[in-house]
Amino acid sequence: MTREQAKARIEKLSEELEQHNYKYYVLAEPSISDYEFDILLKELEALEKEYPELRQVDSPALRVGGQITKEFQTVKHRYPMLSLSNTYSEEELDEFDERVKKLLGDEPYEYVCELKYDGVAIGMHYKDGLFVQAVTRGDGVQGDDITTNAKTIRSVPLRLKKKGWPADFEIRGEVFMPRSEFDRINKEKEDAGEALLANPRNSTAGTLKMQDSAVVATRRLDCFLYFVLGENLPFKTHYESLEAARSWGFKVPSYTELVSGIAGVKKFIEKWDAKRRTLDFETDGVVIKVNSYAQQQTLGFTAKSPRWAIAFKYKTERVVTKLLSITYQVGRTGAITPVANLQPVLLAGTTVKRASLHNADIIEKLNVREGDTVYVEKGGEIIPKIIGVDMSKRDLLCQPHKYITQCPECGTELVRDEDEALHYCPNVDGCPPQIVGRIIHFTSRRAMNIESLGGETVDQFFRAGLIKNIADLYDLEKEQLLPLERMAEKSASNIIEGIAQSKKVPFERVLFALGIRHIGETTAKKLALGMKNIDAIMSASKEQLLEVPEIGEIIADSLIEFFGDKRHRDLVNRLREAGLQFELSEEQLASQSDKLGGRSFVVSGVFSRSRDEIKALIEKNGGKNTGSVSGKTAYLVAGDNMGPEKRTKAEKLGIPIISEDDLLKLIESGV
């Protein structure tokens, strides 16, 4: 392919991919499958890697992230991001309407009603139709520059559609994590034995401040836009500006309505109070704005908020019920979770019988006891939670709750590390819920993907004595399954076939499937690439494990503890004998070399390709990436705008400072 052909293909792919992004994430009308999309994206990435100078500033490849932000620069807002006055009552809404009416005199006016999205406020700057910068609300005067991370949000346009947009303007909105995405991430964290995310809003805020944009991209954040700002905007009303923004490619919510008076506002509030729980995102109220820009100017501002807008907040639903008992659940990793069993009560449209008490510290903080009358809320949490106790109704003979000291399933003494909030059952290989949980994790879609073997079937096999660990799955025969309840010939055959097919699953997923605490999908991939095979991981020292990119002390300690147990090593050997993949494939190894001979590199600055690409190149050729310059550093790979501290330290230690081209020559020569 010639350079001109590559240029034309890159332009065509970029346009096509962004159109598919728009259809999928903004219109919710996908026109191709995820697989077809990924094929096109990989082609674009390959071309941009071969011709980095042809990468467009709004390349769809930016959506997958890869850039690292060490510090989020503080940026002053072009227009202050004021907060809105809040109200919880219809009376205060009437008072707001009376003030508007009084200040506008006899002028007729309209309101725009929008849902109040419970996410993170963001302001985005566009110039000549291109996305330039994204800044968080911060204190309203200044916020953090999160441009790199915002580019990974698929519903945020990097280049605007059509024409008619101002040459220079800002649009504001809310970044949020869909409920379905929140549930997906927490399921992954649960599988990896990690602490769960608290709620979608906090998770969104934490994600936007992550240093690695590639990780941000995996979180699948979304963004609603609802306010256009700029000089000499070609609109007379707020509603008109939203419709225009929608035509430019922004994801403007379809829930917005134009109403003629306060009665229409109240009708909108009532309608969405009933419907908001069916949405895939959190909303805690309604924002009401005067529609006319001229009337907004007449109404003006107070020191803290506009006089032409107000936020009505729905009251968080709280119910009172009785705490009947506190019981304990044992998770796959042995984590103990206390559960409040409640007298059934209706909350937010569902009957609630149980609520999480999280850990021993929460129970102590709430001073909650069996028999108490308790206040229960859902609020921003997905799972109901107890927020307090009605002390006036406490039985004087009620005793403080004593947290269990032994596993409720196997009786083993519980342990709790100093830096952990949870208690754990250490009986990893003898505690039934842990064994079943690990087998279910092992067979799950993201691990060994044995589709025909669901959780209920795993539990049935365990209770029947057919399996006691993950290796036993590979000894099963169809004849053993047929006598089981609800097990027909076809079902049994599908299970045996699914187990056989799982032997083709690549090493990194097998490693994840083992269910080692703190080893999620991403960590398993890093380990597989860094160590090449299971024997290297099992025999590695802590120091050797720490040399693998992104492997910290907690993960290293977890690996050493797991493989230090002979039963786990025996389990791996049984799985290996069964035919599972415990090393990188020939294809994966073929793309690797040892030209850099295990030497350590520090990559710093801006390059023609992303830093992640350069780091991947180093690892692919047998080198190691470290974050800071030390006596063990072989080379400092310096790009533009590199921080002076690293250069000074490298010069002081006599460490060679090389360019991106120097690195490529080093790899090519293999010296």
The residues assigned a catalytic role are 116
DSSP 548: S
What is the rounded distance in angstroms from the CA atom of residue 555 to the CA atom of residue 194? 11
What is the rounded distance in angstroms from the CA atom of residue 556 to the CA atom of residue 566? 18
Paired with 320 in beta bridges are 375
Taking alpha carbons only, the member of 260, 378, 314 closest to residue 89 is 314
Q: Which two tokens stand for residue 79?
A: 């227009």
CB-CB contact of 456 with 486 (8 Å):
no
CA angle 131, 132, 137 (to 5 degrees): 100
Q: Which two tokens stand for residue 151?
A: 């580019």
Taking alpha carbons only, the member of 116, 80, 78, 74 closest to residue 209 is 74
DSSP 281: S
Neighbours of 620 (CB within 10 A): 15
Q: Where are the alpha helices (DSSP H) in 414-533?
A: 432-443, 455-463, 478-481, 489-501, 507-513, 521-531
Q: How many residues does the chain have?
A: 671
| 3-state class percentages of the chain: helix first, strand second, coil last, to nearest 5 | 40, 20, 40
E strands within 348-398?
Answer: 350-356, 373-377, 385-389
Q: Which two tokens stand for residue 536?
A: 């290297």
CB-CB contact of 595 with 617 (8 Å):
no
User: What b/e string do you get for 401-436 counting C-beta neighbours within 10 Å, with b at 16 or more?
Assistant: bebeeebebbebebeeeeeeebbbbebbebbebbbb
DSSP 301: B
Consecutive H or E run containing 663: helix 660-669
Neighbours of 46 (CB within 10 A): 11
User: What b/e string do you get for 112-138 counting C-beta neighbours within 10 Å, with b at 16 or more?
Assistant: bbbbbbbbbbbbbbbeebebebbbbbb
Instruction: Report DSSP letters for 124-187, one per residue.
Output: EEEETTEEEEEEE-TTSSEEEB-HHHHTT-TTS-SB--SS---SEEEEEEEEE--HHHHHHHHH
Handedness of CA 158, 58, 26, 235 (dihedral sign): positive
What is the rounded distance in angstroms from the CA atom of residue 143 to the CA atom of residue 214? 22
Taking alpha carbons only, the member of 458, 465, 407 closest to residue 436 is 458
Residue listed under structure tokens 């400072």: 657
What is the rounded distance in angstroms from the CA atom of residue 156 to the CA atom of residue 63? 10
Residue listed under structure tokens 């100017």: 297
Q: Could you tell me the strand order of the sheet in which 86-87 lies?
A: 86-87, 309-313, 283-290, 111-117, 257-259
CB-CB contact of 69 with 211 (8 Å):
yes
